[in-house]
Structure 1
Amino acid sequence: MIKMKPVIVVHGGAWAIPDELSRASVDGVKTAAREGFSVLKRGGNALDAVESAVRTMEDDTVFDAGHGSVLNTDGEVELDAIIMDGKTLGSGAVSSVKNIANPVSLARAVMEKTNHVLLTGRGANLFADSIGMATVPTDTLVTEYERREWEKQKTYLTGVNELFNSQCAHDTVGAVAVDSNGNVACATSTGGIRNKMVGRVGDSPIIGSGGYADNLSGAVSCTGHGESILKVTLARLILLHIEQGKAAADAAQMCLRYMKERVCGAGGVILVTPSGEWAAQFTTERMAWAAVEDDVLWYGLEPDERCKEQLFQ
C-alpha cells in the first residue's frame, strides 16, 4: 500500500476575534494542531487525530466548546459536536448536551456504540451516563469572562447577521485530517452563540453542514453563522465542488462567497483532500487556524496571513 503524507488542519472559530483574545486563540490552535499531528506521526488514524485535536481545544477556555462555552438565554450551557469517518461514512453527533467536558468524544461514542447518528438533549446525556462518561458541574465549563459578557448582552438579536459577524463570540472549534493510509476524518464542536434560544441547534452537529468526511473527496469542518451554514449545507457543498475538479482553496472561497451572496452569512472552513491538499478560508474579520504537513506548522488569524514554523528541530 502506498503511504500518504499525513496532514491535519484545525480552526478555533471564525468571527471578529478581539485583540485581547487573538494571541491565546492562535496559541490554542497551534497546540491543537501539534497534538493531532503527533497522533498521525505515530501512525495513528485520522479519526483519532481529529478527536485529539478537538479535545485539546475543548479543554482550552479561550474557545467556545467544552470549557469556555457560552451561555444561552437562560444562562445554561448547551453543547453540540460531530465526528465523521471518511472511510466508512460513519458519523456520530450530539446536540444540546449539558455537563460534558468533551462532547466530541460523546459524539464518537454515538457513532461507535449506537445505531444512530445524532442524539440530543436529555437522551444524549442519558447515553453518556449509560457508557460511564464522566460529567462535570456546569460552572466548570463557564469562564468569568463569559459570565460578564452574558450579563452585558442578555438579548440575542435574531436575524441580524451583521451583529453576529462583527460582535458575537462563537469560537466553534474543528479539525480535519488525512492519515498515511489516505483516510480522512472531520470533527466540529461548539457551545453555540451567546444568548441563543434554549434548545437552539446550529450547523455544528449536523452532517453535511458543520462537517463532512468522505475518502472519495475530502473532509471539511465549518464555523460561522450556523443558520446560514445550514441553509447552504456548506460542508457538503464544498466537497461537491472538489468532486467536480476544483482545488481545495478555490472550492472553499467559492462556497463561502455563495453563502454570503445567497443568505448574507459569514463564516470559515478548513478542509483536506485524500491527497493531502488543504485550505483554511474565511469571510469574517478573523479566524484562528493552524495546519501541519511535512513537520511544518502553518498558522494564521488575519485574511491572507500564512505564518510558518518548523515543528521539529
Structure 2
Amino acid sequence: MGTKPVLVVHGGAWAIPDDFAERSILGVKNAVKSGFALLERGGSSVKAVEIAVKALENDTVFDAGHGAVLNADGYVELDAIIMNGKTLAAGAVSCIRDISNPVTFACSVLEKTPHVMLTGRGANQFAEKLGIPKVPVEDLVTEHAKAEWEQYRKYKQTVKSLFNTELVHDTVGAVAIDCEGNLACATSTGGITNKMVGRVGDTPIIGKTPEEAADSALHYMEKRVHGRGGVIVISKTGEWTARFTTKRMAWAGIKEGILTYGLNPGETIQEILKPLK
C-alpha cells in the first residue's frame, strides 16, 4: 500500500489584521484543497505544491504574485522556489517583476535547466523563450500595497520594527508528500514593504520531527536575530505541523480526508471532506 498523501500550506506569518482574517483562512483552505485534489488522483508532490502556491499567488490577500508588497522604488519584485525531495533538485527565480506566478517559473527552472536559480535579465530571457506571459505591473499591485508603502515611507520605520505589525506581509508556502512517499516544497514571496531594490530573502530549513524542527527553527530565529516567523513541516512518514511565533498565521492541511486549519495561536479547526468521486 502506498503512502497516504498530505499537503500543508501557509499564507504568511505576521500580525494579520481583522479585515484580512476571513479572506486569509478562505485562501489557504482553497489552496490546500486545489493541491490535494491532485494528490488524491495520484499526482506528484512537486505538482501539488506548485498548484497550491499558485492559488496563493493568485489571491490578493497574500504577499505573493497579485498581492505582493512594494520595494523601496515602489515596484513589485517576486521570489519563488520549488524543491523535489526525492532528487533534492530545486528551481528558483528572484527579483521577478512582471510574471504573476513565479512558482511556475521556478518549476520550469527545475525541470528545464541544469541550474538552480535564475535572476535578472537572464531570467527574463528564459521566460520569453518558454512563452511565459508577462503581466502589466499594475495587475500585480493592490491598493492595499500602495497604501502600506505610503504609510511606511511616511513614518520611515525600519523593517525590523515593522516585522510583527499589520504593515508586513510574509512568504507563502506549501509542503506535500504524495502516494509514492515523495516530499516536495515550494515558497513564493513579494518580500517586505519598502525592501531595498534587489533584496532576496528566505532559506529552506531541514530538521528533526515536524514539531521539533519547527519549534527549534523558530526559537533559534528569535534568539539569534530577535525575529518572529512561521513554518510548516511534513516528515517522510506523513506527520505534519504548522507553527508560528507571530500574532497570526493562516495555515491549512489535509490528511486522510480531514481538513485542519487555523489563524490564531493555539487555534485548530477541523472539517471532514467529502471523498472525490
TM band (smaller chain): over 0.9
Residue 117 of structure 1 corresponds to 116
Matches of 1:16 and 1:195 in 2, distance apart?
A: 17
In the alignment, is residue 34 of structure 1 matched against residue 29 of structure 2? no
> 1:126–1:157: structure 2 CA closer, same or farther, 3 Å change rule?
farther
TM-score by length of 2: 0.96
Per-residue deviation, residues 266-312 of structure 1 (Å, max 9, x unmatched): 10000101211001000101000000001110000011111001121
What letter corresponds to residue 113 of structure 2 in structure 1? T
Residue 275 of structure 1 corresponds to 237
Residue 223 of structure 1 corresponds to none
The alignment partner of 2:168 has SS state of coil
Whether the aligned pair in 1 keeps the contact of 2:148 and 2:167 (CA below 8 Å) is no
The alignment partner of 1:67 has SS state of helix
The alignment partner of 2:43 has SS state of coil
Per-residue deviation, residues 9-32 of structure 1 (Å, max 9, x unmatched): 000000000000011001000000
Matches of 2:212 and 2:63 in 1, distance apart?
A: 28
What letter corresponds to residue 13 of structure 2 in structure 1? A
Whether the aligned pair in 2 keeps the contact of 1:98 and 1:121 (CA below 8 Å) is no
Residue 198 of structure 1 corresponds to 197
Residue 161 of structure 1 corresponds to 160
What aligned pairs does 1:257-276 form with structure 2 within 5 A after superposition? 257-276=219-238
Per-residue deviation, residues 222-244 of structure 1 (Å, max 9, x unmatched): xxxxxxxxxxxxx13xx2xx1xx
Matches of 1:124 and 1:276 in 2, distance apart?
A: 35
Residue 291 of structure 1 corresponds to 253
Matches of 2:236 and 2:257 in 1, distance apart?
A: 18
The alignment partner of 2:176 has SS state of strand
Residue 100 of structure 2 corresponds to 101
Per-residue deviation, residues 165-207 of structure 1 (Å, max 9, x unmatched): 224321321000000110000000001111111111111xxxx
CA displacement at 1:147 relative to structure 2? 1.2
What aligned pairs does 1:178-217 form with structure 2 within 5 A after superposition? 178-203=177-202, 209=203, 211=204
Residue 138 of structure 1 corresponds to 137
What letter corresponds to residue 91 of structure 2 in structure 1? G
Residue 84 of structure 2 corresponds to 85
Matches of 1:121 and 1:189 in 2, distance apart?
A: 17
Matches of 1:18 and 1:122 in 2, distance apart?
A: 37
CA displacement at 1:106 relative to structure 2? 0.5
Residue 68 of structure 2 corresponds to 69
What letter corresponds to residue 232 of structure 2 in structure 1? I
Residue 224 of structure 1 corresponds to none
Q: Which runs of 5+ in 1 are unaligned?
A: 204-208, 212-234
CA displacement at 1:78 relative to structure 2? 0.3
CA displacement at 1:71 relative to structure 2? 0.7
Aligned partner (choices 205, 216, 219) of residue 254 of structure 1: 216
Per-residue deviation, residues 119-165 of structure 1 (Å, max 9, x unmatched): 1122211211111111100100011121122122127644x524212
Residue 311 of structure 1 corresponds to 273
Q: Which moved more, 1:177-186 or 1:148-157?
A: 148-157
What letter corresponds to residue 35 of structure 1 in structure 2? S
Whether the aligned pair in 1 keeps the contact of 2:12 and 2:169 (CA below 8 Å) is yes
TM-score by length of 1: 0.85
Matches of 2:76 and 2:161 in 1, distance apart?
A: 24
Matches of 1:38 and 1:167 in 2, distance apart?
A: 33
How many residue pairs get matched? 274
CA displacement at 1:90 relative to structure 2? 0.7
The alignment partner of 1:257 has SS state of helix
Q: Which has the higher contact order (CA 8 A, sep 6+)?
A: 2
CA displacement at 1:250 relative to structure 2? 2.3
Matches of 1:121 and 1:305 in 2, distance apart?
A: 41
Residue 58 of structure 1 corresponds to 57
Matches of 1:5 and 1:47 in 2, distance apart?
A: 16
Residue 146 of structure 2 corresponds to 147
